[in-house]
Amino acid sequence: MAVREARVSDAAEIAAMVREHAAHEGALEHCHFDERAARAALFGDAPTLRAFVAFTEDDPDVSAGCMLWYATYSSWAAVPGAWVEDLYVRPAYRRTGLGRQLLDALRARVEGRVEWDVHVTNDAASQFYRRLGAVPVTDWTKFRWQR
């Protein structure tokens, strides 16, 4: 598998994978991310997201997975970090090391902490992240304020 930074030409596939991820989580009706949103967030005048895409070695035109993330900063640790908004590997490519490759690509760029959410019902993802050495954050409660 090969992992690289996303290009404008990847916007439609990234949007498709985000929607597949939402469907996998049973939340497609809440997902409004489409190609237009991908282009604006990743490649617009003021990008708010970054992405990696993964391809098979056999066919570099087939998207196997993606990870969307954005920069964060810890004032206490005084180092930049990253928040992983989406990490999705298409079912045919799971258990091939691709999820780890995507996370490794981000870890290579980020000095501080890398954080993300896992839905409480997604046991497979929780087990995968634990195998990588990640641990759940239990001493903070996430709050959300949205319009």
CATH number at 77 reads 3.40.630.30
Residue 125 counted as domain residue: yes
Evaluate whether 93 touches 64 at the Cβ level (below 8 Å).
Answer: yes
Q: Among residues 53, 52, 84, which one has the least CA distance to residue 69?
A: 84
Tally of structural domains, the chain: 1
Q: Among residues 117, 93, 113, 114, which one has the least CA distance to residue 103?
A: 114
Evaluate whether 3 touches 53 at the Cβ level (below 8 Å).
Answer: yes
Which pLDDT score is estimated for 145? 86
Evaluate whether 38 touches 53 at the Cβ level (below 8 Å).
Answer: no
Tokens of 31: 């997902």
Which pLDDT score is estimated for 141? 85
Residue 66 counted as domain residue: yes
Which pLDDT score is estimated for 126? 93
Residue 138 counted as domain residue: no
Evaluate whether 31 touches 19 at the Cβ level (below 8 Å).
Answer: yes
The model scores a pTM over 0.85: yes
Q: Which domain holds residue 94?
A: 2-131
d(CA 114, CA 56): 25
Residue 146 counted as domain residue: no
Residue 140 counted as domain residue: no
Tokens of 138: 């239990």
The H or E element containing residue 23 is helix 11-24
Residue 68 counted as domain residue: yes
d(CA 27, CA 103): 23
Q: Read off the pLDDT of residues 30-56 as tens digits, 9 standing for 90 and up.
A: 999 999 999 999 999 999 999 999 998
Q: Name the DSSP letter for residue 49.
A: -
Q: What is the mean pLDDT of each run of 10 residues along the chain (147 residues)?
A: 92 98 94 98 97 87 94 95 96 93 96 92 91 91 83
Residue 82 counted as domain residue: yes
Residue 34 counted as domain residue: yes
Which pLDDT score is estimated for 22? 95
